[in-house]
Amino acid sequence: MATLQLKQITKSFGDTDVIKGVDLEVNDREFVVFVGPSGCGKSTLMRMIAGLESATSGDIVIDGERMNEVGPADRGLAMVFQSYALYPHMTVEDNMGFSMRLAGVPKEARREKVLEAAKILQLEPLLDRKPKALSGGQRQRVAIGRAIVRNPSIFLFDEPLSNLDAALRVQMRIELARLHEELDATMIYVTHDQIEAMTMADKIVVLHDGVVEQVGSPMELYHHPCNRFVAGFIGSPK
Ligand code: ADP
Ligand code: MG
């Protein structure tokens, strides 16, 4: 059974139809990349999966359970955004442990979980620092750490690297791939960057104007794009 199923999801803002009937299955432990031009509806779709936005129609099913009326905190997922605001007055450790503190997890248990995540992300030497004393890449790792400590079954990343410079983006891509291996988690990753999609994905979902144009492995899309849009976007010769 698929971990996540989207069934005929639509979203309208007033008279504007932004998502126009999306069907999709994401399997356990898959790294799925949503790719498409700016404004095609990627963030809206992610926000609906996360429960931050309700669908106008259709069903969102996680591990066999319909999630439409379930709040974001109870969907078993964690989201990392492009603008990963950290709390400036809190240390790295407190930033990473904050959601657990809200959930009433005792201090020692929080510390243990934060240390475990910090180790995976190579943040151990930085736990006492405040965000302003971190580089962009380190801040991004803290934002990912905040997601890891929640033990989500699904990670949602919405253009998490777009504020980083090119060299750091390449490095973070490698780290995310390693994280995917290490955590054995399902990851859904949004980007408008074709290269990111091609290098990171098990499965690519090409979105265009609120519609899924094609779903397939990077090689399938490259060698067998279903139309000119996909061919143009993925960069294959057809
Ligand atoms: P992407 O993430 O692919 O760039 P978005 O999902 O952010 O695209 O936006 C898709 C479309 O929906 C855009 O045309 C955007 O202007 C519109 N949109 C997004 N959020 C809202 C909103 N809250 N109200 C009205 N229109 C919105
Ligand atoms: Mg977006």
**Does the Cβ of 210 fall within 6 Å of ligand 1?**
no
* Distance, CA of 152 to CA of 192 (rounded, Å): 24
CA-based nearest residue to 169, from 143, 130, 195: 195
What per-residue confidence (pLDDT) applies to 58?
A: 98
Ligand nearest to the CA of 81: 2
Tell me: ipTM over 0.90. yes
* Cβ–ligand 1 contact at 191 (below 6 Å): no
Backbone φ and ψ for 81, nearest 5 degrees, come out as -95, 175
With a 6 A CB cut-off, is 194 part of the ligand 1 pocket? Answer: no
Q: Return the exposure string of 54-87: e unless at least 16 CB atoms fall within 10 Å of the residue's CB, then b.
A: ebeebebbbeeeebeeeeeeebbbbbbbeebebe
Report, as ranges of residue numbers, the positions in the chain whose pLDDT lies below 50.
none
Please give the distance, rounded to the nearest whole angstrom, from the Cα atom of residue 45 to the centre of ligand 2.
9
Q: What's the full length of the chain, in residues?
A: 238
Question: What are the tens digits of pLDDT across the range 150-198?
Answer: 889 999 999 988 888 888 888 889 989 999 999 889 999 999 999 999 9
Cα dihedral 123/162/188/97 (nearest 10): 30
Measure the CA dihedral 139/121/205/20, to 10°: -50
- Is the C-beta atom of 13 inside 6 A of ligand 1? yes
Q: Which ligand is nearest to the CA of 37?
A: 1
Closest of 65, 80, 55, 41 to residue 205, by C-alpha: 41
Predicted confidence at residue 238, as pLDDT, reads 52
pLDDT at 161: 87
Closest CA to ligand 1's atom 6: 41
The pLDDT, as a whole number, for residue 169 is 87
Strands (E), the chain: 4-13, 16-26, 31-35, 57-62, 65-66, 77-80, 154-158, 186-191, 203-208, 211-216
Q: For 73, which DSSP code?
A: G
pLDDT confidence of residue 1: 62
Render 9-59 in DSSP notation, one character per residue.
EEEEETTEEEEEEEEEEE-TT-EEEEE--TTSSHHHHHHHHHTSS--SEEE
Atom of ligand 1 nearest to the CA of 207: 3
Q: What atom in ligand 1 is closest to the CA of residue 44?
A: 6
Is residue 37 lining ligand 1, measured as CB closer than 6 Å? no
Query: What is the C-alpha separation between 82 and 61, in angstroms, rounded?
Result: 25
pTM of the model: 0.93
- Here the tokens at position 173 are 């891509």
The finding on whether 64 has its CB within 6 A of some atom of ligand 1 is no
Name the residue type at position 180. Answer: H
